[in-house]
Amino acid sequence: MFTDLDFDQLYHHEALVHTATALNGRRQTNLASLGLGAPRTQEGIAVFAELATRSIDVNRLRRLALRIQALKLVLDGGDFLDCFRYLLQAGQDEREAYKSTQRIFRGGDVRGGIAFTKDSAYLKGLIETHVLLNVAIRDNQPQVIARLFAGRLTQSDVLTLGPYFDSGFLQAPRYVPPWASDTRRLAATLAYSAFMMSVDLAAITLDRFVAAAQRSDAECSS
């Protein structure tokens, strides 16, 4: 059974990113190979799409983070049971822990040391995509954002192939998700997130809001 969040995540992640970039790549009359492959950038854009559309939830983020930690355990020599127990201790139930462990060992060795490392691409790609989008907007280069969807491109590809897009040798993408096509809203979201990164949340408690309100009331009455 799929939940409403599962549906939204699959729609924005698989359909509007992975499928769209494949279709856009195949439409490249001069370089149809852009419809092939699955670079790390793909997963970064797809997870960012979940965030931008508010279709991701904290459980999915936590699941991705736990898989990466478990992946390190396996690459350091942990076996299937070590990985399974680690995920149980981290709070996953038996079914989810088994499914995560099964995924990590896909094509690997249940004795440890060899694993399926794709999960590391999700968060690393997410961070790289977030930074690229921020820099593109800061430098007034909105075309970089759209070109991410012109095919199965890495971030380096998008920048290196810039002259070929400019000349028309490569075509602009036909399918771009709404969150990426309206750079005004995207810029606002990224600007606010950049500002919030400067706030030291560790220094703030909920009681501080009550104290601030009391000080404000006292100042108004004096």
Range of the domain at 108: 4-196
106 found inside a domain? yes
| pLDDT tens for the chain, residues 1 to 222 | 667 778 999 999 999 999 999 999 999 999 999 999 877 889 999 999 999 999 999 999 999 999 999 999 999 999 999 999 999 999 999 999 999 999 999 988 899 899 888 888 898 999 999 999 999 999 999 999 999 999 999 999 999 999 999 999 999 999 999 999 999 999 998 988 888 888 888 888 999 888 888 888 787 876
User: Within 10 A of 173 (CB to CB), how many other CB atoms are there?
Assistant: 23
> Residue 168: its pLDDT value, please?
96
CA 36 to chain centre: 20
Does the residue 219 lie in any domain? no
Q: What is the CA radius of gyration of the chain?
A: 22
Distance from the Cα of residue 86 to its chain's centroid:
24
Q: Say if 217 falls within a structural domain.
A: no
Classify residue 169: in a domain, yes or no: yes
Q: How many CA atoms lie within 13 Å of 186's alpha carbon, on the beta-carbon side? A: 25
For residue 4, what is the enclosing H or E element?
helix 4-10
In a domain, 205, yes or no: no
- Residue 203 belongs to a domain: no
What's the pLDDT score for residue 64?
92
63 lies in some domain: yes
Q: What's the total number of domains in the chain? A: 1
Residue 222 lies in a domain: no
